[in-house]
Amino acid sequence: MKKYIVLGVAALACALVAGRAYTYKYRSQDTVVVTGLGETEFTSDLIVWNGWITAEADNVADGYAELERSKRKVQQFIAGRGIPAETVVFDFVNTNKEYVPVYNENGNWAGQRFAGYELRQRFTIESSEVERVETVSREISALIAQGVSLEASAPDYYYTKLDDVKLSLIEKASADARLRAAKIADNAGTRLGAVKSARMGVFQITGANANEEFSAGGSFNTSSRNKKARITMRIEYRVK
């Protein structure tokens, strides 16, 4: 008889534990998880553009003299298009020795011969005058006809108020998430409660009209003047 009593008590205890586990499981799932999206487009307000002037000479002194002549022409060209001189920064001069291969009469390599010096100097323009710097970057090749040896890269575009954009997108994504969650709760016949958890997605900046892929670590487009910013918010709400 005692044996049956013990078994009965054990069974009742198991039933209570199972019932509590079920209740806990039910309550733990009594939430709704949604992902809200915030997007906006904006135009860059800062441009950074790099170019290089080069010179070749048999000796360093002649190379520096040629580089200085090219530098003055570049400065005059840029100033003539309304860009202040203080926005143009010239780096130090890199000097490299140049060698050419030497072959013997049989066509076999026999070493190398010193051919002179190559000098390179980079200049950078960082300005809020985006239109003007764009014009210079497109027209700078006209200096080649004046004997200036130069190279240039495409401009990079930035926005100086990204923190404001990010905060605005977090607000938009959160509002979007709440609308989605409220719709789900309404369709389920419940009411939306407090936020249980929230997680921000990766901040993405792409070209406004570019078909770019998003990156797990976040995209940061600098090649497009017009950009699109995007952020997501994953929010879990309690429901009543």
Domain map of the chain by residue range? Answer: 31-43+160-239, 47-156
Range 132-157 average pLDDT: 94
Distances 77 to 36, 118, 148, 215 between C-alpha atoms, Å:
50, 23, 11, 40
Is residue 12 very low, low, confident or very high in pLDDT (cuts 50, 70, 90)? very low
Give me the pLDDT at residue 209, please.
81
pTM of the model: 0.79
Give me the pLDDT at residue 138, please.
94
Cβ-based neighbour number of residue 175 at 10 Å: 13
Give me the pLDDT at residue 29, please.
60
Is residue 225 very low, low, confident or very high in pLDDT (cuts 50, 70, 90)? very high
Q: Which CATH number fits domain 31-43+160-239: 2.60.40.10, 3.10.20.30, 3.30.110.170, 3.40.640.10?
A: 3.30.110.170
Tens of pLDDT, residues 147-203: 999 999 999 999 999 999 999 999 999 999 999 999 999 998 899 999 999 999 999
Do the bridges between strand 150-152 and strand 204-207 make them parallel or antiparallel, or are there none, so unpaired? unpaired
- Mean pLDDT rounded to a whole number for the chain: 87
Tens of pLDDT, residues 46-97: 999 999 999 999 999 999 999 999 999 999 999 999 999 889 999 999 999 9
SS (H, E, C) the chain: CHHHHHHHHHHHHHHHHHHHHHHHHHHHCCEEEEEEEEEEEEECCEEEEEEEEEEEECCHHHHHHHHHHHHHHHHHHHHCCCCCHHHEEEEEEEEEEEEEEEECCCCCEEEEEEEEEEEEEEEEEEECCHHHHHHHHHHHHHHHHHCCCEEECCCEEECCCHHHHHHHHHHHHHHHHHHHHHHHHHHCCCCEEEEEEEEECCCEEEECCCCCCCCCCCCECCCCCEEEEEEEEEEEEEEC
Q: Would you say residue 22 has pLDDT above 60?
A: no
Q: Would you say residue 17 has pLDDT above 50?
A: no
CATH number for region 47-156:
3.30.70.2970
What are φ and ψ of residue 149, in 5° steps? Answer: -90, 115
